[in-house]
Structures are given as C-alpha cells and as structure tokens.
Homo-oligomer: A and B are copies of this chain.
Amino acid sequence: MYRIGELAALYDIKADTLRFYEKHGLLSPSSRSDSGYRLYNQDDSERLKFILRAKAVGFSLNDIADLLSIEVDKSNRACAEVKGLVDTKLEQVEAKLAELQHFATSLKSLSNTCCGGPDSAEHCSILEALESSEQHIIAKKEQHHFSHSGHKD
C-alpha cells in the first residue's frame, strides 16, 4: 500500500497530479485509511504506469480514460462493445507507431549520413531525411559528403 506521496515519488510526479487524476476519473486509490488518507495498492500503481505511458506517447487524458473505461466497467459492457473500443484505439496506436517508425528511420539515416565532424551541416536536415525515406530508402550508398549541388529551391 502506498500513500499518495509515496506513489507520486515512485513515478516522479506530484501528489497533486494524482489527486487531479482521481478528480478526473483516471485513477482512484483502492482504499482509504481511517483518517481518510488515500491508499494505493499494486493494481493502482500498474494503472498509473499505464496512464503515464499512454500520456508519453501522445494520448490525452480523455483518450486514456476511454481506454481505462474498458477495465472499469468491464462487467457492464458487452464484449462486442469492448472489442470495438479496443480496435479503434488499436488503429490509433498503429498510426502513431507508423509515424514514429518513420521518424526513427529518418533520424537514423540523418545520424548516419552526418559526418559527425566539425564541418558545416549542409546536408543535415530531418526534412530532407524524411523526404528521402518517404520516397525510396534506396540510393543511400553514395554518402560522400561533398555533392553540394543537390539542393532544390
């Protein structure tokens, strides 16, 4: 059992944030002490981990509430309904995933292309990398660093 400050410390957030999440229906402590202190158990902690992860990858608290609602009232929902919700979110996640993979590829190619030395970074552009990786990641053998001309305006 964690008290609010302990759980907050565990995830490097403020106790205020936990109260905020509670007020907004994202995470309630599973019990309270006699004196009314919030007491969070391991499940609560897992739930918080989920919330923070989802937030980190770009979901709003509302999105997250949707996702968590699947758990909260699972006994009141039909499987079909749940499946629909899950599949919708899955689409969103996979769209984000695709975007991120795109970014990662571009950043990697950028990092590789870049000489890493003290020279001017004339060819170092994420946008360039994104464009090229978008079109064809082929033609990426000739990475000498002096074809200054391939610059469209």
Contact = CB atoms under 8 A, between A and B. Distances in A.
Contact of A130 (B30, B50, B58, B115): B50
Q: How many copies does the complex hold?
A: 2
10 contacts: A50-B126, A50-B130, A56-B95, A57-B99, A58-B58, A70-B110, A70-B124, A77-B120, A90-B107, A100-B100
Chain A facing B: main interface SS: helix
Interface residues of A, number: 64
Interface of A: 30, 43, 46-47, 50, 53-58, 67-68, 70-71, 74-83, 86-87, 89-90, 93-97, 99-104, 107-108, 110-111, 114-128, 130-131, 148, 151-152
A29 to B, nearest CB: 13
Contact of A93 (B75, B94, B100, B125): B100
Given A57-B57, A58-B58, 10 more contacts: A46-B130, A46-B131, A53-B102, A56-B95, A68-B126, A75-B151, A79-B118, A80-B118, A90-B108, A93-B104
